[in-house]
Structure 1
Amino acid sequence: MKIDLSNKTALVTGSTMGIGFAAAKQLAEAGANVIVNGRKDEATEKAAVAIGEKARGIAADLGTAEGCEKLLEQAGEVDILVNNAGIFVPSDFFETGDDAWEHHWQVNVMSAVRLSRALAPKMVEKGWGRIVMLGSESSFNIPQDMVHYGVTKSADVSLARGLAKRLAGTGVTVNSVLPGPTLSDGFREMISDEVKKSGRPEEEVAAEFVMAERPTSIIQRAATVEEVANLIVYTCSPQASATSGASLRVDGGIIDTL
């Protein structure tokens, strides 16, 4: 299968590192012109340069309506929107205040709402478009130490399903992609102390964490960011035209359901 996204413009939010960067890079390799987004100018420009001539960067904080508007003004029309921007901060339910809930909600959910609402109409006019929400296995397997995060990821899956129904028959598909534990920069930072202390390979420590915290994993390891990006890019492709309103799992089999 050859995915050709020539003459398409893709916006990937939160794409200076991790899954977002891998997705932006693979979309560019498939021929798309890619807009890279991060909160800071330097990191955003560095990521765009690393991807190459098919990429340009727009720095904007998507945790606010003003930041979303800044991104929209500079981005213009896009054919593909990957709502990847997100945060997660472990915190016990009884110690998580309204501010933390609100911050997670604004970044993880409302950024996707605002950008999709603004960019989808032009996709509809052209009769083609792709919108992808980054959910998580935590959308269904709510983590007890991050209830607030799990709720926002469940909302992203619901948003994708509802918007797909709203855009039925337009040529614009909307789906959510659900990663499991992934060797992103944040995950690497989380296990870095154990890697240094034990001297063991990063992948081995990551696999041990997965089996301790997510024992239903079938692959019994963390995924790479490229493995998650593979599914994102397929979902953005012309070949995925019959897939809409779906929650697509790349969780290593953690969610124990048929």
Structure 2
Amino acid sequence: MRIQLEGKTAIVTGSTKGIGLATAKALAAAGAKVVINGRTRDAVRAAEQAVAEAVHGACLDGVEADLSTAQGCQALVAAQPVCDILVNNVGVFGPQDFFDIPDEEWSRFFETNVLSGVRLARAYASGMAERRWGRIVFLGSESAFNIPADMIHYGMTKTACVSVARGLAKRLAGTGVTVNSVLPGPTLSDGVRAMMAEAFEDSGQTIAEQGAEFVMQQRPTSIIQRAATVDEVANMIVYACSPQASATTGAALRVDGGIVDSL
């Protein structure tokens, strides 16, 4: 199967690192014009360079905007008023005990992980429906169903993303616009690598070995018994964005390595 997205404009939020950057590279390789987003100009430029080096002739644009605020989302829409593919990837995470999480942190997680995607989908989905083609992907997580006791606020936001994606798919029924959520499990993104580097300091293990040990300690139901790579997650996202996925909508597409123990 060859995915071809020539003539399509794809926005990937939070695409300067990790899953977002891997997704930007994969969409560019499929021929889409890709809009890189990050909070700082330097980060956006570095990501654009990384994609350009990975994909010869990549068509790229960059928008510096903090999407944890309504103003940042408005700035992105003003800079890129037309979008065919929207990947709502931007997000924050981090372990914290429930009794230590202040209201402000609950709000920050919800604004960043959920409302950024809601605001952008609201801005772009009508145009997609008018053109009778569009793809919207929300990044969920296995934590949407398997709420981690040490990241309840994070799990809550990912459950919300899955719910929004399902409801919006129904709202856009018959328009040619699909809306799905993609649910990674533990993934060797920059953030996870940093977290593991602290936990496994001086262990002498490779990053892959650290990831496998982390998974078996924290997510023992994993069937692949290792962490996923960012490219493995990006592959699922790109498929959901492709013409070939035209009958897939309202779905929660799991790239969790089998952690969620259900059929």
In the alignment, does 2:51 pair up with 1:51?
yes
In the alignment, does 2:36 pair up with 1:36?
yes
Counterpart CA distance in 2 for 1:193 and 1:87 is 18
Displacement after TM superposition at 1:201 (Å): 1.1
Displacement after TM superposition at 1:229 (Å): 0.2
Counterpart CA distance in 1 for 2:199 and 2:81 is 44
Unpaired stretches in structure 2, ≥5 consecutive residues: 53-57
Match of 1:5 in 2: 5
Unpaired stretches in structure 1, ≥5 consecutive residues: none
The TM-score, its normalising length taken from structure 2, stands at 0.97
Question: Which of 139, 142, 147 lines up with 1:137 in the alignment?
Answer: 142
Counterpart CA distance in 2 for 1:54 and 1:249 is 29
Question: Which of 215, 220, 240 lines up with 2:220 in the alignment?
Answer: 215
Counterpart CA distance in 2 for 1:89 and 1:106 is 15
Does structure 2 retain, via aligned residues, the 8 Å contact 1:129–1:171?
Answer: yes
Equivalences for 1:3-152 in 2 at 5 Å? 3-52=3-52, 53-152=58-157
Counterpart CA distance in 1 for 2:205 and 2:102 is 37
Match of 1:162 in 2: 167
The amino acid of 1:11's aligned partner reads I
Displacement after TM superposition at 1:50 (Å): 1.6
The amino acid of 1:26's aligned partner reads A
Displacement after TM superposition at 1:195 (Å): 4.6
Secondary structure of 2:202 counterpart = helix
Counterpart CA distance in 1 for 2:30 and 2:207 is 30
Displacement after TM superposition at 1:165 (Å): 0.1
Counterpart CA distance in 1 for 2:126 and 2:211 is 42
Does structure 2 retain, via aligned residues, the 8 Å contact 1:132–1:176?
Answer: yes
The amino acid of 2:240's aligned partner reads T
Equivalences for 1:197-212 in 2 at 5 Å? 197-212=202-217
Displacement after TM superposition at 1:111 (Å): 0.3
The amino acid of 1:4's aligned partner reads Q
Match of 1:251 in 2: 256
Counterpart CA distance in 1 for 2:200 and 2:220 is 20
Displacement after TM superposition at 1:7 (Å): 0.3
Does structure 2 retain, via aligned residues, the 8 Å contact 1:174–1:244?
Answer: yes
The amino acid of 2:23's aligned partner reads A
Counterpart CA distance in 2 for 1:200 and 1:244 is 40
Counterpart CA distance in 1 for 2:241 and 2:219 is 29
Match of 2:238 in 1: 233
Which whole-Å deviations, capped at 9, do the CAs of 1:13-68 have from their partners, x for residues lacking one? 00000000000100000000000001111001110122124111101000100000
Displacement after TM superposition at 1:193 (Å): 3.3
Displacement after TM superposition at 1:90 (Å): 1.3
Distance 1:91 1:196, change over 3 A: closer
Displacement after TM superposition at 1:11 (Å): 0.1
Displacement after TM superposition at 1:133 (Å): 0.2
Displacement after TM superposition at 1:89 (Å): 2.1
The TM-score, its normalising length taken from structure 1, stands at 0.99
Match of 1:191 in 2: 196
